[in-house]
């Protein structure tokens, strides 16, 4: 089925949502420890070995998603790696829709220059621009938080945010909260509805909303399903980035690309979009391209 322009935009928009996240106020280490304890049995290893819980919400003019995860990496490694703006570009480039990311200095601090396009190869001049202000909010021995913010987006979207907060937990591991969100208006709402009525009609997220007659889980769909898919893609990108640090510097980009695709295919019902050969070839080119500044 051929998508309209608004439907194609909505598909990009829902992918772009992963680059945004709100915490209305600063989340302290105590807040995160309380949330970790509160999740309890909800935060357990899944069939693919990832310990996580995905949540989402839809308000009148905003979509929000959360991924709570236990990372098998020491807190010191997580905090030291994610406090570098350029490393966020190493992460953000991995999902299909991100075509370019480069960190530059801005008047008030670092800025990430992003280009968002279709999931397949997309000429850079036809992509959507997004400038994310990057800020370290907290960096102590037991608490780390980074935020990325953009006031405006394409086709009536606004207030893009992404927040990652983390604390150390037992066993030399890290508890992470990845929260993201964006606000939308009438035009973008219509575009999303068009997408969900066509290419996104059969796609699902991760929240289980019921069981079928055979006891199989039924997953949430619609815009919340889309937000959850994007959340998982970015969580898996963070995990792939951290895993790649064990490789020699010249091998890390390739290791991230391969690891991210392998991880997403473990959740093929929600995340499969293309075959490995197509994805790897595309991302190798985009990783090379992001070394130069493109305004």
pLDDT tens, 199-247? 666 889 999 999 998 889 999 988 889 889 988 999 999 999 999 999 9
Q: What angle do CA 265, 83, 262 make, to 5 degrees?
A: 10
Pairing assessment for the beta strands 173-183 and 128-140 based on DSSP bridges? unpaired
295 domain-assigned: no
Task: Give the domain CATH number at 48.
Answer: 3.30.530.20
Highest-scoring range by mean pLDDT, 67-71, 167-171, 291-295: 67-71
Q: Higher confidence at residue 188 or residue 4?
A: 188
Q: How far is Cα 21 from Cα 70, in angstroms, rounded to an integer?
A: 19
Residue 151 binned pLDDT confidence (cut-offs 50, 70, 90): confident
Question: pLDDT per residue over 63-122, tens digit each?
Answer: 888 999 999 999 999 999 999 999 999 999 999 999 999 999 988 899 999 998 888 887
Residue 188 binned pLDDT confidence (cut-offs 50, 70, 90): low
What is the helix (H) or strand (E) element at residue 81, kind and residue range? Answer: helix 75-82
294 domain-assigned: no
End-to-end CA distance of the chain: 34
Collapse the DSSP code of 266 into the 3-class scheme (helix H, G, I; strand E, B; otherwise coil) and give the result.
coil
Question: pLDDT per residue over 8-17, tens digit each?
Answer: 444 444 444 4
How many other C-beta atoms lie within 10 A of the C-beta of residue 47?
7
Per the structure, how many domains does the chain have? 1
Average pLDDT of the chain? 86
> What is the model's pTM?
0.87
> What is the extent of the structural domain holding 231?
5-289
Lowest mean pLDDT among 150-154, 165-169, 259-263: 150-154
Residue 23 has pLDDT above 60, yes or no: no
Signed CA dihedral, 20, 23, 29, 32: sign only = negative
Q: How far is Cα 193 from Cα 140, in angstroms, rounded to an integer?
A: 43
Q: Higher confidence at residue 241 or residue 129?
A: 241
Contacts of 265 (CB under 8 A, 6+ apart): 271, 272, 276
174 domain-assigned: yes
Query: What pLDDT is stored for residue 8 in this prediction?
Result: 44
Check: CB of residue 50 under 8 Å from CB of residue 161: no
Q: Tokens at residue 290, please?
A: 């992001």
Any idea what DSSP says for residue 184? -
How many other C-beta atoms lie within 10 A of the C-beta of residue 76?
13
Percent of the chain with pLDDT over 90: 61
22 domain-assigned: yes
Contacts of 191 (CB under 8 A, 6+ apart): 6, 7, 9, 10, 13, 155
Query: What pLDDT is stored for residue 284 in this prediction?
Result: 97
CB burial of residue 173 (10 Å; 0-12, 13-18, 19+) = middle
Q: How far is Cα 224 from Cα 65, in angstroms, rounded to an integer?
A: 8
Check: CB of residue 21 under 8 Å from CB of residue 161: yes
């Amino acid at each position: 089925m051929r998508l309209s322009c608004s439907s194609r935009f909505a598909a990009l928009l829902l992918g772009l949502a992963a680059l945004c996240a709100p915490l209305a106020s600063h989340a302290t280490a105590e807040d995160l420890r309380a949330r970790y304890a509160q999740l309890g049995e909800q935060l357990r290893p899944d069939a693919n070995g990832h310990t996580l819980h995905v949540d989402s919400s839809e308000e009148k003019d905003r979509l929000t998603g959360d991924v709570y995860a236990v990372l098998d990496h020491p807190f010191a490694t997580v905090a030291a790696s994610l406090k570098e703006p350029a490393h966020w570009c190493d992460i953000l480039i991995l999902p299909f829709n991100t075509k370019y990311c480069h960190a530059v200095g801005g008047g008030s601090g670092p800025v990430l220059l992003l280009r968002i396009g279709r999931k397949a190869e997309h000429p850079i001049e036809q992509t959507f621009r997004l400038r994310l202000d990057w800020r370290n909010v907290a960096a102590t021995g037991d608490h780390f938080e980074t935020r990325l913010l953009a006031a405006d987006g394409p086709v009536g979207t606004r207030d893009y945010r992404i927040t990652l907060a983390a604390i150390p937990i037992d066993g030399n591991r890290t508890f992470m909260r990845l929260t993201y969100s964006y606000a939308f208006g009438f035009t973008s709402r219509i575009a999303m509805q068009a997408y969900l009525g066509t290419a996104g009609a059969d796609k699902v997220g991760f929240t289980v909303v019921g069981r079928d007659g055979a006891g199989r889980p039924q997953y949430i769909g619609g815009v919340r399903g889309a937000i959850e898919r994007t959340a998982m893609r970015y969580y898996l990108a963070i995990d792939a980035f951290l895993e790649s640090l064990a490789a020699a510097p010249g091998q890390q980009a390739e290791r991230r690309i391969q690891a991210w695709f392998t991880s997403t295919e473990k959740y093929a019902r929600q995340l499969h979009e293309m075959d490995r050969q197509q994805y790897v070839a595309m991302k190798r080119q985009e990783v090379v391209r992001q070394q130069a500044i493109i305004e």
